[in-house]
Structure 1
Amino acid sequence: MAGTFALRIVSPVGDVLNEDVEFVVLPGGSGELGILPNHAPLIAALDVGVARYTLNGGTIKRVAIAGGFVEVADNSATVLAESAELGEEVDLTRAVKAKERATNRLTSRSNEIDVRRAEYALRKATARISAAEK
């Protein structure tokens, strides 16, 4: 690939990632969004999912993202995420248990369950598992 650009991922707890990368794919609101060096300026909403980025040298890494926005300008991309977790830092056991809890809530469908919140928890847990396993 021709060059790199700065990728910064920030969550409410602080910087999650600050690397020079060759390529990044983000979970956009209407599909995946790929960014290469010298991308045109852009602001876009992000969905729950897994961001994949390629380091100089070809190593691919993953980050679980739970929504937010990306701004691309001046050969850098800044992700402001509601939450973000590096794939290698995901507690897989905890993520699997969270997925099971969300699935159980959705299958019970009692009046006490907030379905939208349970669906969000399921999507977030699934993204964390995907980021950790690949």
Structure 2
Amino acid sequence: MSLNLCVLTPNRIIWDSEVKEIILSTNSGQIGVLPNHIPIVTCVDIGLLKIRLKDRWLTVALIGGFARISNNEITILGNAAEMGIDIDPKEAQEDLEIAEANLSKAEGKRQITEANLARKRARTRMEAVNTISF
């Protein structure tokens, strides 16, 4: 038995195919989803979406959104998302370094909050690159 997973962003469809299992980052922690999971709707955090196919895993860098799970159908509406295999490792590393530098220079509550979010997005992209298939 498998799950139908559809990952959508405002710009494009990232994934629309059957999978065996997913691990999803939510605002209350990671959840694993297998066939016949109970129906839920949840907020998606900035983090990795891990997708298990038959014998391998893929990663997607998800930048927030919502997920609906019901009747072996998973729909994720993401603010932004990138497949780990599509991310340039050098660019991701540079983005992380810039985000960390900006965080160290940030002043005031708003700048610090924005810099922390930028660093979290950059770190998620680096994690997606570093865990392409496990």
TM-score (normalizing by structure 1): 0.92
Rounded Cα–Cα distance in structure 1 between residues aligned with 2:36 and 2:13? 23
Q: Which runs of 5+ in 2 are unaligned?
A: none
Cα displacement string for residues 28-84 of structure 1 (whole angstroms, at most 9, x for unaligned residues):
1111011111211110011010110101x2211100001111001121100001111
Q: Which of 91-100 and 118-127 deviates more?
A: 91-100
- Within 2, Cα distance between the matches of 1:28 and 1:110? 28
Aligned to 1:67: 64
RMSD: 1.3
Is 1:118–2:115 an aligned residue pair?
A: yes
Q: Deviations over 1:4-45 (max 9, x none)?
A: 110110011110011201100000111101111121111001
Show the counterpart of 2:102: 105
Q: 1:19 is matched with which residue?
A: 17
CA contact 2:65–2:79 (8 Å) conserved in 1: yes
Amino acid in the other structure paired with 2:14: V
Map 1:45-84 → 2, pairs under 5 A: 45-55=43-53, 57-84=54-81
Distance in 2 of aligned mates of 1:109 and 1:124? 17
Identity among equivalent pairs (%): 28
Q: What is the rounded CA distance, in whole Å, between the counterparts of 1:27 and 1:84 in structure 2?
A: 13
Q: Which amino acid aligns with 1:85?
A: E
User: Any conservation in 1 of the 2:22–2:50 contact (CA below 8 Å)?
Assistant: yes
